[in-house]
Amino acid sequence: MNLSLFDLDNTLLACDSDYEWGQFLVDRGVLDREAYEAQNRAYYDQYVAGTLDIHEYLGFALRPLAQHTGEELARWHADFMRSRIVPTIGAPARELVQGHLAAGDLCAIVTATNSFVTRPIANEFGVRHLIATEPETRDGRFTGRVAGTPCFREGKIRRVEEWLAAQGRALADFGASMFYSDSHNDLPLLARVTRPVAVDPDPQLAAEAHRRGWAVISLRG
């Protein structure tokens, strides 16, 4: 059996779901445009630049979850999926995932975006295993804080290893291990698998993939 791991934002999706969720709430009038939009963009720019403080960002990104009921959030997310996410999923991305599933690979989406936003997206791809940043809950409500290790940079390695260990497995147990990503922020996990693949990579990842001889593909066709 092979292991196939997929980043989500700007890899399987032609957008960043975390950023788009915030903008969706702004456009719905749930969040104040003036107060939220500029900060959301600033954090996204920091992510692209590789300077993001993940704990500071999560304090910002998870706060709206704590301010609304589960019923409200679920209703908004269903609209978010229809209007913002599904249109960004191209046929090549669906075919890539389905090919690995059909081959019998153990597949997981590994994303820094929180599991509230990304679980329905993983379901859309038919991927049962989601390794994401986990929002803390208490008494059935989100607290606005993160639970455990954020699934970001080196944290992705830790979270993947914990997930495999819970199944009695390790990375070295697989004949081949693949990770598909667009971002230089994912270089730690890309360097740990046997078959790293840069997908529509940012400039930093493109340069590193060229230097190391990694495969480079596009899912935007």
Q: What is the 3-state secondary structure (H, E, C) of the chain?
A: CCEEEECHHHHHCCCCHHHHHHHHHHHCCCCCHHHHHHHHHHHHHHHHHCCCCHHHHHHHHCHHHHCCCHHHHHHHHHHHHHHHHHHHCCHHHHHHHHHHHHCCCEEEEEEEEEHHHHHHHHHHHCCCEEEEEEEEEECCEEEEEEECCCCCCHHHHHHHHHHHHHCCCCHHHCCCEEEEECCHHHHHHHCCCCEEEEECCCHHHHHHHHHHCCEEECCCC
Query: 38 versus 106: which is more confidently predicted?
Result: 106
Give tens-digit pLDDT for 169-185. Answer: 999 999 999 999 999 99
- Report the chain's mean pLDDT, rounded to a whole number: 96
Terminal-to-terminal C-alpha distance of the chain: 29
- Record the tokens describing residue 178, joined without a space: 């693949």
Q: Pairing relation of β-strands 106-114 and 177-181?
A: unpaired
Q: How many percent of the chain have pLDDT more than 90?
A: 96
Identified catalytic residue from 7, 18, 182, 186: 7
The pLDDT of residue 195 is: 98
Residue 33 has pLDDT above 80, yes or no: yes
Average pLDDT over residues 68-82: 97
**pTM, 2 dp:** 0.96
Residue 221 has pLDDT above 80, yes or no: no
CATH code linked to domain 3-217: 3.40.50.1000
As a whole number of angstroms, the distance between CA 157 and CA 138 comes to: 27
Average pLDDT over residues 116-140: 97
**Where along the chain do its domains lie?**
3-217
The pLDDT of residue 35 is: 85
The pLDDT of residue 34 is: 87
Does the annotation mark 105 as catalytic?
Answer: no
Average pLDDT over residues 50-75: 94
Does the annotation mark 79 as catalytic?
Answer: no
Give tens-digit pLDDT for 196-207. Answer: 999 999 999 999
With bands split at pLDDT 50, 70 and 90, how would you rate the model's confidence at 17? very high
The pLDDT of residue 134 is: 98
As a whole number of angstroms, the distance between CA 31 and CA 16 comes to: 18
As a whole number of angstroms, the distance between CA 40 and CA 109 comes to: 23
